[in-house]
Structure 1
Amino acid sequence: MFCLAVALIAVVTGAVYNATQQAPQFYTEALEFEPVDASETGEILEEQVFAFSNQVKKPRRWSLHLTDRQINGWLASDLKEKFPGILPETIEEPRVAVQGKTLLVGCKYKGQSLNSILAVSLDCFLVEGQPNVVGIQLHNVTAGSLPIPIGKLIDEINTYADKADLPLRWQQRDGDPVALITIPSEGPEIEGEIRIDALELKDGEILLSGETLKTEEEKQKEAMKASQSEVAESELAPAVESP
């Protein structure tokens, strides 16, 4: 009887371990990147983000269009080199995929009691009535093919957010936890106020668009200049018309 119990425990333990080692298909596909291809797509992403960062500094309409392939190329070729300490020590090789309107995020996790492929499915959206607030709704969280409690992931996210000084709030939506992140509307080099009006996910793509608006102070300055210009023109008019 004892031998049977030991054998049963060994079988169950082995089955659980094997289940935790199964990588989701999206993650396996996202890892398939030749170094040269990863570098090239990573460079394209950096160029687009750099151009975008310049766009938002001036009052105008702007947009940013990225693909999950570009993001994964950058993660594969540039993340470790350019931001070596940004990830917790337990996380390696993060990758993403956009399937329909769902964002899938996966990584290799190496903790004290678990070595596995973690994956989570997310919905990303703008929160109605709260300018520049992005909601990230967490759905399924898995270790390999096994579901794990979302609470553990939330604890990890909160710990990381505290260390990164990232303001984060939580609420519920359809029974799922939602992380609320406020995107700053102002900055030292931004000549106005940023307003995001669209965040769209569709197969393989992420689109962000909005506008940098002139501040009330800037509008008042322009109105004053226009008024002064009109006064100057009216004062010059009689002198021009006289013989």
Structure 2
Amino acid sequence: MVFCLAVALIAAVTGAVYNATQQVPDFYTEALEFEPAEASETGEILEEQVFAFSNQVKKPRRWSLRLTDRQINGWLASDLTEKFPGVLPETIEEPRVAVQGKTLLVGCKYKGQSLNSILAVSLDCFLVEGEPNVVGIQIHNVTAGSLPIPIGKLIDEINAYAEKANLPLRWQQRDGDPVALITVPSEGPEIEGVIRIDALELKDGEILLSGETLKTEEEKLKEAAEANQTEVVESEPSSSDGSS
């Protein structure tokens, strides 16, 4: 009798856990709703904006970038696997995002040996005060369906990916949550100056990024020397032959 009761209890718990892992977050269901033609169109818009942005930051000037989660999801649906095959692990399919207020939600289909579910991560993204070009990503929670799962495993995966991609990454705590700190490079071979990010904002459906590419001290000195040279030339009196 006790054995039968134990078996029934285990079956009930196992069933409840399985059902919890099969629940799909609302944001992920909405993010999947894309006709192929619309996904392709919004993906192209995103690529055009990112290409124009990459050219903007190369020259000394102010710049900004505004992306919608709809554009990102369109690109993920139509271009990710085609243009970057193999970038996702075999266990991950159909990643999607949503911006709700100041929170970034990231979801995907996970197909592992012991778990098939929708994984979802809740994040906050912000600039770290006092550290130029350092972006903080605060991880609030990770779920499989509606079932919370340990954040430690996700952190291990992030560290492994960052090491493979040679991405500078460090961790700290904020309000009891782990925060990944990523330093965005300020210089590059095609950048004529130094990049400074001054705003990163998330609001319903949008990600906004703005900043400025500043002239280097070397470029400023060079321009000052050229300006002084021009002033000297212009101030020299012109010679002329007089006649009586």
1:63 counterpart residue number: 64
2:34 counterpart residue number: 33
2:179 counterpart residue number: 178
Return the alpha-carbon distance in structure 2 between the equivalents of residues 56 and 92 of structure 1.
32
The 3-state SS of whatever aligns with 2:167 is coil
Return the alpha-carbon distance in structure 2 between the equivalents of residues 226 and 162 of structure 1.
46
1:17 counterpart residue number: 18
Amino acid at match of 1:13: T
1:154 counterpart residue number: 155
Return the alpha-carbon distance in structure 2 between the equivalents of residues 211 and 134 of structure 1.
16
Return the alpha-carbon distance in structure 1 between the equivalents of residues 225 and 154 of structure 2.
54
How has the CA–CA distance of structure 1 residues 153 and 225 changed in structure 2, closer, same or farther, with 3 Å as cutoff? same
Return the alpha-carbon distance in structure 2 between the equivalents of residues 28 and 50 of structure 1.
29
Return the alpha-carbon distance in structure 2 between the equivalents of residues 82 and 191 of structure 1.
29
Q: 1:62-104, CA deviations, whole angstroms, 9 ceiling, x for partnerless residues?
A: 0000000000000000000001121122211110000000000
1:189 counterpart residue number: 190
TM-score by length of 1: 0.96
Return the alpha-carbon distance in structure 2 between the equivalents of residues 181 and 202 of structure 1.
21
Q: 1:211-240, CA deviations, whole angstroms, 9 ceiling, x for partnerless residues?
A: 0000001001100100111111112x3437
Q: 1:130-174, CA deviations, whole angstroms, 9 ceiling, x for partnerless residues?
A: 000000000011110011111111111111111121111000011
Return the alpha-carbon distance in structure 1 between the equivalents of residues 168 and 148 of structure 2.
28
Return the alpha-carbon distance in structure 1 between the equivalents of residues 111 and 167 of structure 2.
24
1:101 counterpart residue number: 102
Return the alpha-carbon distance in structure 2 between the equivalents of residues 85 and 124 of structure 1.
26
The 3-state SS of whatever aligns with 2:108 is strand
Q: CA deviation at 1:17?
A: 0.8
Q: CA deviation at 1:4?
A: 2.6
2:164 counterpart residue number: 163
Quick one: percent identity of the two aligned structures?
88
1:239 counterpart residue number: 239
Which consecutive aligned stretches of 4+ in structure 1 deviate over 4 angstroms post-superposition?
240-243
TM-score by length of 2: 0.96
1:83 counterpart residue number: 84
1:219 counterpart residue number: 220
Return the alpha-carbon distance in structure 2 between the equivalents of residues 42 and 85 of structure 1.
19
1:210 counterpart residue number: 211
Amino acid at match of 1:67: T
The 3-state SS of whatever aligns with 2:142 is strand
2:120 counterpart residue number: 119
Return the alpha-carbon distance in structure 2 between the equivalents of residues 181 and 77 of structure 1.
28
Q: CA deviation at 1:110?
A: 1.7
Question: Unaligned stretches of 5+ in structure 1?
Answer: none
Return the alpha-carbon distance in structure 2 between the equivalents of residues 194 and 226 of structure 1.
25
How has the CA–CA distance of structure 1 residues 69 and 242 changed in structure 2, closer, same or farther, with 3 Å as cutoff? farther
The 3-state SS of whatever aligns with 2:239 is helix
CA root-mean-square deviation:
1.4
